[in-house]
């Protein structure tokens, strides 16, 4: 929803009339978000990925630093888990604050394949955050590059969303990354996996969609939600073993756009402007990749499915609407 002072004022009035105790701090929070976005637009808060050296960058959506450290010993390609501060606490923050025109020279060398649904609002519809709550003030132009500025911009969620799981599966992203790496040979490759972001699709502990709703209400324990989240993380890390043996990249970095909150200071999931380290701090893991040509990609962009785009439905499935 765009910057809208009247909309924010009306929403605030409605909240406070409904529940004074929660309405006042929530409305003040969105005033704070407007201030944070104004500052972030002028001076980056966090590390922009284009200021770092890498050949391939793997983004694990909503990946916490402590979570990947907990499972690191299970994966040979993970040695040291360092961290950086992200430029955003949601994808809708991270995208416009990352792919700005000041980095256009590097972006022209970059192939970006992503299962994240916010590519369309950011790059094609030129919308600004937040998603569904008005803010009283803030930036209305983030100087985001045009889609044509990328070496390749592959919006996988438009044709590659799994009908049963209602998300882009890890194998789909690996498939597209391998194909683009081999056919386009970009100087830089970004692969944006949607896991460990919900829905949690693991067979053993996976709790499906909207995990944080029952957690907030006390219908499930924090440990149950955490185990479900770790299982989703393992699904995507298992897939990276295949990716790293089927692309060539001297320096691969595994990172995230933001983390995830499990009730810390009353926060659940990831909200725009969240200042907590569990959401703003993301992994920074360095490794390497060599194409051993052990996998043949099978998935190609589907023009018919792209024409039947259902963005709002996909955003709702991911818990944003």
Contact call for residues 233 and 164 (beta carbons, < 8 A)? no
Output the pLDDT for position 108. 97
CA–CA separation, 15 and 10 (whole Å): 9
Q: Give the H/E segment covering residue 243.
A: helix 222-243
For residue 131, give the nearest of 168, 90, 94 by alpha carbon: 90
Joined together, the tokens standing for residue 217 give: 């209400």
Residue 155, helix vs strand vs coil = strand
Render 280-321 in DSSP notation, one character per residue. Answer: HEEEEEEEEE-------------HHHHHT--HHHHHHHTT--
Q: How far apart, in Å, are the Cα atoms of 271 and each of 37, 54, 309?
A: 13, 28, 25
pLDDT tens for residues 76-100? Answer: 999 999 999 999 999 999 999 999 9
**Residue 206, C-beta contacts closer than 8 angstroms, at least 6 positions apart:** 199, 200, 228, 231, 232
Place 305 in a pLDDT band, splitting at 50, 70 and 90. Answer: low
The fraction of the chain above a pLDDT of 90, given in percent, is 71
pLDDT tens for residues 28-81? Answer: 988 888 888 888 888 778 999 999 999 999 999 999 999 999 999 999 999 999
Contacts for 292-296: CB closer than 8 Å, 24+ residues apart: 292/245, 292/246, 293/246, 294/242, 294/245, 294/246, 295/174, 295/178, 295/242, 295/245, 295/246
Output the pLDDT for position 19. 86
Q: List the beta bridge partners of residue 284.
A: 82
Question: Whole-prediction pTM value?
Answer: 0.92
Place 317 in a pLDDT band, splitting at 50, 70 and 90. Answer: low
**Can you give the residue ranges of every domain in the chain?**
5-317
Say how far residue 228 (Cα) sits from the centre of its chain.
Answer: 18
CA–CA separation, 172 and 155 (whole Å): 12
Say how far residue 296 (Cα) sits from the centre of its chain.
Answer: 26
Contact call for residues 87 and 127 (beta carbons, < 8 A)? no
Output the pLDDT for position 22. 86
Render 47-85 in DSSP notation, one character per residue. Answer: --GGGS--SEEEEETT--HHHHHHHGGG-TT----EEEE
According to CATH, what is the number of the domain 5-317?
Answer: 3.40.720
Strand runs (DSSP E) across the chain, as ranges?
Answer: 56-60, 82-85, 110-114, 152-155, 188-193, 249-255, 261-262, 268-269, 281-289
């Amino acid at each position: 929803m765009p910057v809208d002072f009247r909309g924010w004022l009306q929403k605030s009035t409605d909240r406070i009339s409904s529940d004074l105790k929660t309405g006042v701090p929530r409305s003040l929070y969105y005033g704070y978000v407007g201030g944070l976005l104004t500052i972030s637009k002028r001076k980056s808060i966090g590390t922009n990925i284009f200021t770092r050296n890498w050949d391939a960058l793997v983004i694990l959506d909503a990946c916490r630093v402590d979570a990947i450290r907990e499972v690191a010993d299970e994966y040979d390609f993970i040695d040291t888990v360092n961290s950086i501060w992200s430029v955003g606490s949601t994808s809708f923050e991270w995208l416009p604050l990352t792919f700005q025109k000041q980095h256009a020279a590097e972006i022209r060398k970059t192939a970006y394949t992503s299962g994240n649904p916010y590519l369309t609002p950011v790059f094609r519809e030129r919308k600004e955050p937040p998603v569904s709550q008005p803010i009283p003030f803030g930036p209305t132009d983030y100087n985001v590059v045009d889609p044509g500025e990328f070496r390749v911009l592959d919006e996988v969620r438009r044709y590659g969303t799994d009908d049963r799981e209602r998300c882009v599966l890890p194998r789909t992203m690996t498939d597209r990354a391998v194909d683009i790496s081999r056919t386009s040979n970009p100087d830089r490759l970004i692969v944006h996996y949607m896991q460990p972001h919900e829905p949690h699709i693991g067979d053993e502990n996976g709790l499906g969609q909207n995990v944080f709703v029952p957690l907030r209400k006390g219908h499930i324990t924090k440990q149950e939600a955490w185990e479900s989240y770790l299982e989703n993380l393992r699904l995507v890390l298992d897939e990276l073993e295949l990716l790293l043996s089927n692309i060539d990249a001297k320096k691969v970095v595994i990172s995230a756009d933001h983390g995830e909150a499990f009730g810390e200071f009353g926060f659940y999931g990831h909200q725009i402007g969240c200042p907590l380290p569990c959401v703003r701090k993301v992994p920074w893991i360095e490794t390497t990749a060599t194409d051993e040509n052990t996998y043949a990609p099978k998935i190609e962009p589907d023009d018919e499915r792209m024409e039947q785009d259902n963005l709002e439905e996909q955003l709702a499935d991911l818990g944003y609407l």
